[in-house]
Every structure is written in structure tokens, then in C-alpha cells.
Amino acid sequence: MSPLSTPFKNKSGQLIYTHFHMTNGYNNVSFKKPFYKMLIRLKVIIALTCVLSAGLVYGQGGTTLAEEYYKAGEFEKAANEYAKLLKTEVSWVRVSRYVTSLQKSNKGEEAAKYLKKQQRSDDANRAYYELLSGQLAAQQGDTIQAQAQYTTALQSSKSSIAKLEKLATAFNEVGEARWAVRTLETAREVSKDPTSYSEDLMALYRSTGQTEKAIDEIIITGKQTDKKETVLAALQGFINTKDEPLVEKALYTKIQQEPNELAYNELLIWYFVQKQKFSRALLQEKATDKRLKLNGSRVYDLGMLALNNKEYKAAADAFEYVTTTYPQGQLYPFARRLVINAREEQVKNTYPIDKLEIRKLIADYQRMLQEIGTNVKTLEALRSTANLYGNYLDSKDTALTVLDLAIDLGKTDKNFVDRCKLDKGDIYLLKGEPWESTLLYSQVEKSQKEELLGYEAKLKNAKLHYYKGNFSVAKDLLDVLKLATSREIANDAEQLSLLIVDNTGMDSTEAAMRWYADTELLLLQNKTDEAVDNLNKMLAKYGDHSIADEVLWLRANTYMKQGKNAEALEDLKKIVSAYPTDILGDDALFTQGKIYDERLKDKAAAMEAYQKVLTQYPGSIYGAEARKRFRALRGDTLN
């Protein structure tokens, strides 16, 4: 056997001999037939794999290699790689980066020659070369030539919407936003769709300082129902800026041009609501309702929104419109009650409260019940009537009788019955019968477990223990309510719990805290004169007690309810000067601002108070609102 002969076993264990001969530095191999065929097949597979792998590496990695060189600033190498890629496929990225790489490699002339040559030979991508030629001209200070090239690029693309879209993207990428705008405007003309490219144009108009066009574009886009959220977000960006007047002007113009386009009216109404101008929004809603015969539904919804925002007059006007315009409509019984309800809120929030106006409201409710009847739709009117009797006219027995009637009529509605029971509990508390109150509150707690109404009942029970001087029991209940799902209830519980903790334990009798709780009960019973007398005596006796600032705060708020603004301001100023670091300091300062702002119309004094909230109490919960009010009074137009 030759020393270069090697035995090889096949799968069957049979020996096959291979013979090797060296020729010209290569292995010239001869095999016995079975092995020879297998090896030839293997060589073919390896060869094909190598060819395919090379192609894949270049196809997948070629672009990456060019990008890597470009990003690393190796522009000469990048130019070489992009030149190779451009032979296989032309794209904006490849062309622009190739030209940039040439320029960065000090081959500007070569770049210019390339662009000229391609303009003549590559018609499909001519616009790219014309755009880049314009860029070269601009870089050399030849703005006229640059504009000419940009214009030519635009003209070259007019034959195809797809070309115009790509050109707009290219213009935007090279920082020519105004030419991107012109290109998209041309694309819109070619497409004959006046709403096409709306979102892109919105952004481009704004970025190029064409504010009026931007606003027009946003408003026009409002006609597309699927773009509503985008449009409102865009318009919101102009609210409280120097450009805000342009929004209102543009909306009115569009409404005049297209009076039957509901979208424009909706945007104007939305704008007025954002500015808390509910009366003006109502005028637009009424006009829209009459023109489109909407049966008052949108006016009714606006009335509800105004009511929730404490714009009681606008709410009453909205509901009044529904009742007078659609007396046979489905919304009539609800609007009929709500118009009185809105006026009721207006009366209850105007101090001092006018009892004559309260009697007028009761008469209005009674006329409504006679007209429509006492039924499911008017049950809330019975509740309102009862509470007006009990809370403002001291007619507690009448109030309880009306509530019993309401419970009997609404017995199929558990929530309504439970609300009436809470009202009855309140009336019994006013009558000085707390045991009846706690019985009713506890019934609602059990009926409405883990519900908002149940938490409200629990809070009322906690306050009842507080009024009775059972401070430890009250605090235990309040601590549970701090975790309530309702933020309002949780906050009320937190505040009352803190009051108890801060002002008990200083003396064994807790006399000051008991006196204070008694006074709060008097205020709950609308016995304001007696309450003020109590507070005066407390300040004389407990001027050095930790409760003194709370007494001043309660007296200030009582004076406000009596319409005694000067006296209220005096107490608020005492809190700020004597207890600046206590919990009520920022409350007192912010409330001063509100009195000057809303009641006395003293702009300068209001601004001073709001500014002090910002400077003296930077972490105050009133900070955002104080800043907003201060800027509004100063006439700012910035966000």
C-alpha cells in the first residue's frame, strides 16, 4: 500500500482506498467511484454557498458599511461605497449622502459634475439631482440659481403625486421647509383633494411662521371626523398665546364662508368653552340647533357643562331655551327642573342669601310639579324643594314631609331613596335630633357598601361624632375615609382628622375643641349670628391656643357668607401675619386674592395677593391657580 493511500470506511464498513497525487502545488485526487461522486457533490454545495453568502453580505451589509463610514465621518470611503450602491438602486438617501460625502471629501466639483450628468441621464430621479444642485448653489451664495433649481425640481415632479410626496420629504430633510410646503400644496392640487396632507401642512406652516395658514389648515382639517382629537390638540396650542385672537377670527371667517359646515360651529363652541365663555358658546349652540333642528340636545349638554363649571346663569339660559323651544320634547321635564336648579345654585352662592329668592325657587318647583306631575322625571325637584325648606327657611318638618313623599314615590330607585335618607339625616341634625341622623346615615352605609354614597354616609356619621364631641371615634372613622376612592371625601376626612389631632390633648377637658365643634354645628344650622358670637368669645378666651387660627379662618368664611368682605379680609390678614407658617397661611392669602378679584374688583390688590401665594408659599396647592389668575389679571397672553 502506498504511504499516501488512506483506507476510508463507508457506512457498511467496507474499505475504500483513496489515492493522492501532487501536481503543480494542487492536490489532484483520484477516488474509487462511490466516494468520488459524494465528494464532487460536496464541492458543488460549498461553492454555491460561498457565492450566495458573498451576495448576501454585499446586499445586506453594503448599505450598512456605507452608513457606518458616513456616520463615522470617513466621507471618502462613504462616497466610494455609496457610488457602488447607486449603480444597483437610486434613492434619495443614497444620492444625498453620496453628494454630501463628496463635498466633505473636498470633491465639490466632482459632486456638481455628477449632478449635471444625472439630470441628463436619470429622468426618473431628476428632481433629486435638481434639488441637490440648488443646495450646492445656495451654499455658494447663489440664491437665485438655488431658487431656480428648486423650482425646476418641483416642475419635474408634477407628473406624479408619488414623486411630489418624495420631493416634499427631501426638501424637509435638507431644511427647506417652505419648499416642502410648496411641494405638498402642489400635491394637494394634483390630487384634487383639499384635505390631503393636512397634518403635515399643519406642522410645516407652524414651523415656518405662517401662523394664519397653520390655523386655517387646522380648522379645515376639523371637517374630517377621524382627525378631531388631532385638531383640538393643535388648536389648544394657540390658547392663551399672542396668536389666540387669530383662532376666533379664522373660525368666524370659515363659518361665514361655509354656514352649513357643522364642524366649524363645533370648533367655535369648543373654543368658547375652553375660555369659559359659556354665554357666547350658548349663542352658537342655539343657532346650530335652530338650523339643524337638533331638538335642543346639544344646548342641553352645554347647559350641563356650564352647571358643572358653576356658570349658573349660562346653564339656566340653556335649559330655559330647551323648555321654551321644545315644550313637547323628551328633554322638557329634565330641562324644566334643571333651569330652576341652576337658578337655585346661583341664589345659594350669592351672599348673603336672599330668603325671598329661596321662596321664589320653591314656588317655581311647585309650579313645575303641578304642570308635569310628580313622577320619576321630577323626583329630584321634590328633593330640592325639601332641602330649600329645611336649610334656608327653617321649615324642618315641612322638609321631612316632602322627603317622605319623595321616598314613597321613588321607592324603586335605591340610590334615590338613599340620597333622600341622607337629606333626612341632615334635617334631623338641624332639628337637634342626632340619634335619628345617625340611624339614617348608618342605613345608607349598609345599603351602599363600598359605593360613593356609602362613603358619604360614613363621613356624615364621622362629623356627627365630631359635633357631639366624640373626637376619638370621629378620628377613627375619618382615618378609614382617608383611603376613600372619592378625592373630595378623602380630602375632607384628612382635614377634619388633622383639626382634631392638632387641637385635642392640650387640656384634659378639650373644651376649646368642643366649643369649636358646637360652633360648626350652628353654622350647619344656618345660625350665623350665633356662630359669630361664639367665635368672638373663643378668640377672647383662647387667643393663645393652637385653635386660634382655625377660629379666625372659620369667622372669615362666616363673614364671607354674610357678605361682610371687609371683616373677612381683616381676619384673613391676621392669619397671614400671625400664623404665616401654619397650615392655613396659603389658604388665607389665596382667599384674600379671590375676595379682591371676584367681589371687590380690586385688580391691583388681587394681583398682589396671588403673587404673594407664589413667592411666600411656592409649594402651595393653590400655586397653579394663583399663577393663572395673576397672569389673567395682568393681561398675559403666554402659556
Q: What is the pLDDT of residues 55-70, one digit of tens each?
A: 333 444 456 798 899 9
- Per the listing, cell 327653617 goes with 394
The three cell numbers of residue 617 are 408659599
- Give CA–CA dist 261/432, Å, rounded: 60
**CB distance 253 to 246 below 8 Å:** no
Mean pLDDT lowest for which of 173-187, 500-514, 577-591?
500-514
Mean pLDDT lowest for which of 27-31, 293-297, 518-522, 609-613?
27-31
H or E stretch covering 66: helix 33-72
- Give CA–CA dist 578/571, Å, rounded: 10
The candidate with the shortest Cα–Cα distance to 301, out of 318, 317, 277, 323, is 318
List CB contacts of 101: < 8 A, sequence separation 6 or more: 70, 75, 76, 78, 79, 82
Residue type, 195: T
pLDDT for the residue 526:
81
- Give CA–CA dist 585/632, Å, rounded: 23
Confidence of residue 627 (pLDDT cuts 50, 70, 90): very high
- Arithmetic mean of pLDDT, 117-141: 90
- Give CA–CA dist 86/93, Å, rounded: 10
Distances (CA, A) of 465 to 58, 421, 462: 83, 18, 5
Residue 590: phi and psi, rounded to 5, are -65, -40
**CB distance 561 to 527 below 8 Å:** no
- Arithmetic mean of pLDDT, 368-373: 90
- Per the listing, cell 349670628 goes with 529
- Give CA–CA dist 102/555, Å, rounded: 81
Looking at residue 506, what DSSP letter applies?
A: S
* 85 or 484: which leads in pLDDT: 85
pTM confidence score: 0.69
Taking 90 as the threshold, does the pLDDT of residue 150 lie above it? yes
- Give CA–CA dist 323/335, Å, rounded: 6
Tell me how many degrees the CA angle 55-57-60 measures, rounded to the nearest 5: 100
Confidence of residue 350 (pLDDT cuts 50, 70, 90): confident
Mean pLDDT lowest for which of 48-52, 208-212, 611-615?
48-52
Residue 29: phi and psi, rounded to 5, are -105, 135
- Give CA–CA dist 224/195, Å, rounded: 8
Enumerate the β-bridge partners of residue 30. Answer: 19
Taking 90 as the threshold, does the pLDDT of residue 282 lie above it? yes
The candidate with the shortest Cα–Cα distance to 447, out of 406, 474, 492, 407, is 407
Confidence of residue 142 (pLDDT cuts 50, 70, 90): very high
pLDDT for the residue 508:
54
Distances (CA, A) of 94 to 126, 131, 176: 14, 14, 19
192 CB-side CA count, 13 A: 0
Taking 50 as the threshold, does the pLDDT of residue 410 lie above it? yes
* 342 or 632: which leads in pLDDT: 342
pLDDT for the residue 9:
36
The three cell numbers of residue 279 are 354665554
Taking 50 as the threshold, does the pLDDT of residue 186 lie above it? yes
- Arithmetic mean of pLDDT, 597-616: 94
- Give CA–CA dist 53/61, Å, rounded: 11
- Give CA–CA dist 625/629, Å, rounded: 6
The three cell numbers of residue 524 are 350647619
- Arithmetic mean of pLDDT, 524-535: 90
DSSP H helices in 122-210: 126-139, 143-157, 161-173, 177-191, 198-207
Confidence of residue 509 (pLDDT cuts 50, 70, 90): low
The candidate with the shortest Cα–Cα distance to 133, out of 185, 177, 82, 96, is 96
Report the phi/psi class of residue 280: left, alpha or beta, with left for phi > 0 and alpha for psi in -120 to 50: alpha
Mean pLDDT lowest for which of 36-50, 285-299, 379-393?
36-50
- Per the listing, cell 408634477 goes with 158
Mean pLDDT lowest for which of 286-290, 438-442, 532-536?
286-290
**CB distance 490 to 483 below 8 Å:** yes
Taking 80 as the threshold, does the pLDDT of residue 364 lie above it? yes
Packing angle, helices 75-88 and 92-104, rounded to 10: 150
**Average pLDDT for the chain:** 86
Residue 617: phi and psi, rounded to 5, are -130, 70
Residue 562: phi and psi, rounded to 5, are -85, -5
In angstroms, the first-to-last Cα distance of the chain is 98
Report the phi/psi class of residue 449: left, alpha or beta, with left for phi > 0 and alpha for psi in -120 to 50: beta
Of the chain, the percentage scoring pLDDT greater than 70 comes to 89
pLDDT for the residue 527:
86
pLDDT digits (tens, 9 = 90+) for 414-431: 999 999 999 999 999 999
**CB distance 215 to 238 below 8 Å:** yes
- Give CA–CA dist 141/154, Å, rounded: 21
pLDDT for the residue 633:
87
- Give CA–CA dist 638/239, Å, rounded: 9
pLDDT for the residue 409:
92
pLDDT for the residue 352:
81
